[in-house]
Chains A and B, each alone.
Chain A
Amino acid sequence: MTDMIKKTGISRRNLLKTGAAAVAGAAVGSGAITGFPTIWAQNPITLRQFGTGVSNLNAIAEKCKEDLGITLEMTATDSDAAAQRAVTQPDSYDIADIEYWILKKVFPTGVIQPMEISKLKYYDKIVPLFKTGKLTPDSVIAQGTAPHTVGFVEAKDSKEFAKGETEYFTMVPTIYNADTLGIRPDLVGREITTWADIMDPAFKGKTSILNIPSIGIMDAAMIMEAMGNITYADKGNMTTEEIDKTIDFLIKAKQDGQFRAFWKSFDESVNLMASGEVVIQSMWSPAVAAVRSKGIACKYQPLKEGYRSWGGGLGLAAHLEGAQLDAAYEYINWYTSGWVGGYLNRQGYYSAAMDTAKEYMSEDEWGYWIEGKPAQGEIKAPDGTVMEKAGAVRDGGSFLERMGHVACWNSVMDEDRYMVRRWNEFIAS
């Protein structure tokens, strides 16, 4: 990235400084180079962003300051706290960086204002997954809280989600990914093809699932369905009978000693896998990368039933108006303009505006992360650490192959409270 900027011969920071000196007191038009009409350095604007942490990256705040002159104050919380804060302290933030299932809970309370699509510069670059629910025209729409189902409203003051695309967008999608099971290819000793494999008696006492109820129940649902025990009408919104059936199954599996442990935090999952305590478990993609970086074989195994997916976006707080609102739009346009997208793609997540992100990635990076091609050279993380050597292919393959096989999105159920209570019984049993 830095190399790319240097090649143009003019860094944005320098331009800012010169511009500020030359036209003191006035907003500087620098559209020719950055593509952003206003420089906020003259009239400092701070945007307070809070969210679930995945995309609360300091690098983004620094780059935003550099490109736009907007100071970004970021606060990270866990998802339940994020949902609560969004509703109860709506004046404490300007931008909400939350997942779509949280938006489903939060939006009807009126704390997020819909965006006018006409003001979103890169709206047409956003992948159709977030507009129609279909990545390609022949994709099947996944269950759960699919982003497009909570992505639009009919009017500016509407509290209900629209059925299809409208002029008002509730959140601009920023980051998403497809989750599956992680395995130790050296220890499983056979091909893993389905979610049901985690219940194979051969892996007794060597499996783990995550102990975060809202996500764990989805992994359990994928397993249940793969085993043919049940077919859910909607995995993302189970009935109480479906919850009972799923939890009873988990309790039985636990008592039979199928699980070695349950993990709650990222590093626990890394340790379980790296130490060989478990050979197959629920996992998140950065955790797989972390195990591999220790030189231990670990694969993010694609499974025939598809992935469990999650996604987040940026929403505007209802209280934003005037210059702050303009700045927020500008920030969002900047966010989707490519630099951030490239950064997120290089961490193994996906950017919502793929075309713009492509311009900020090398051909090899684009080939490895997005097209599923073998790496030509070393693949490096944004901080410079080597993630993969030449010849490596991303688990699950290309963007289209991975995000095109989403079976279910993270979601919030109507019977949420009942589910959590039963989940606690499973852990205590």
Chain B
Amino acid sequence: MNNLLSRATPYLQATPLLVILGFFLALPILLLLVVSFWDYDFAGMYPGFMTFNYAETLGSWVTWKTYGNTLKFAAIVWAITAFIGFWVAYFLAFHVRKASTQTVLFLVCTVPFLTSNIIRMISWIPVLGRNGLVNSALVGAGIVDQPVEWLLYSDFAVILAMVHLYTLFMVTPIFNTMMRIDKSLVEAARDGGASDWQIIWNVILPLAKPGIAIGSIFVVTLVMADFSTVQVMSGGQSASVALMMRNQMSLLQYPAAAANAVVLLVVVLSMVAGILRIVDIRKEL
């Protein structure tokens, strides 16, 4: 009896999490999968097993082009945020000596996050617009004759806003892993005659990999699922996968959106799996 209880204990302890994940994660995804095979018209959805939602999604060049576009955004934003994130975290972890200053500076990084996502994004519009701050300054200083058009409602604007929104998601995990790096390793490397660059390249970067991996997962999933930034900053001129789904949902084509969501889920999960394959984050945590 006692033996049985002690064997059951771990399962009982895991039950709450299982229930929560089952109800809020597994069940919705299962429903999504089921609905993606249903039929629909303007008035409702009809249970069934139709594959045309997938056929329409995968067979259309719009889907491929949109995925291409979204992946392009993901790649560029990832590269920029990883670069900025690494150096900001490196500065915080190794060049700021006092723990209190570190904390203060880290909090400074989070200040923009005190306002909502949408406001941070929309506030770019008066800055980048045809008659915005940047263009007024450029024209006023005589650097250009005509306002620069590509600043707003372009891929540039989308990427700029995304980098602004998502860099912190890269800074935080990298900073976290860097703080765990034993400083004596850096000292040992220096004693061994390594230059600053060699230390960064051969000691810090390999040890910071789990943080970069976690940050990458954040950034990639956020960019892949983004629709509002793309919609607002491209002025509706550019498409993203989530925006495509939102269009379908606003037209009440839920099964089509569900099929699209399943495809996106598969793509993003494989990307995350890829990242985890390169870096074993569990080993390093």
Report A's interface with B, CB cutoff 8 A.
78, 80-81, 83-84, 87-88, 105, 109, 205, 208, 211, 213, 254, 259-264, 271-272, 275-277, 416, 420-421, 424-425, 427-429
- A109 CA to B130 CA, complexed, in Å: 50
Q: Is the CB of B65 within 8 A of A277?
A: no
Nearest-CB distance from B165 to chain A (Å)? 19
Contact with A along B22-44 (1 / 0, CB 8 A): 00000000000000000000111
On chain A, the residues within 8 Å of B152 by CB distance are: 277
Closest A residue to B246 using CB positions: A264
Q: Is the CB of B44 within 8 A of A429?
A: no
Given the known interface contacts A276-B130, A277-B153, A428-B66, the answer about A213 and B235 at a Cβ–Cβ threshold of 8 Å is: no
Given the known interface contacts A420-B251, A425-B62, the answer about A261 and B129 at a Cβ–Cβ threshold of 8 Å is: no
Give 7 A-B contacts (CB < 8 Å), ordered by A residue.
A254-B237, A275-B130, A276-B131, A420-B251, A428-B62, A428-B66, A428-B239
- A208 CA to B132 CA, complexed, in Å: 19
Nearest-CB distance from B127 to chain A (Å)? 12
Q: Is the CB of B236 within 8 A of A211?
A: yes
Contact with A along B49-75 (1 / 0, CB 8 A): 000000010001110011001000000
- A87 CA to B42 CA, complexed, in Å: 9
B126 beta carbon closer than 8 Å to chain A: yes
Report B's interface with A, CB cutoff 8 A.
42-44, 56, 60-62, 65-66, 69, 125-126, 129-132, 149, 152-153, 231, 234-237, 239, 244, 247, 250-253
Q: Is the CB of A83 within 8 A of B126?
A: no
On chain A, the residues within 8 Å of B239 by CB distance are: 427-428
Given the known interface contacts A80-B252, A211-B236, the answer about A275 and B129 at a Cβ–Cβ threshold of 8 Å is: yes
Q: Is the CB of A83 within 8 A of B153?
A: no
Given the known interface contacts A277-B130, A424-B244, the answer about A80 and B250 at a Cβ–Cβ threshold of 8 Å is: yes
On chain A, the residues within 8 Å of B252 by CB distance are: 80-81, 84
Q: Is the CB of B131 within 8 A of A275?
A: yes
B43: contacting residue among A84, A205, A260, A416, CB under 8 A: A84
On chain B, the residues within 8 Å of A78 by CB distance are: 250
B65: contacting residue among A87, A259, A261, A429, CB under 8 A: A429
- A262 CA to B153 CA, complexed, in Å: 10
Instruction: Name the residue among B44, B65, B130 with the largest chain A CB count within 10 angstroms.
Output: B130
On chain B, the residues within 8 Å of A105 by CB distance are: 42-43
Q: Is the CB of B235 within 8 A of A80?
A: no
On chain A, the residues within 8 Å of B125 by CB distance are: 271, 275
Nearest-CB distance from A353 to chain B (Å)? 31
- A271 CA to B253 CA, complexed, in Å: 29
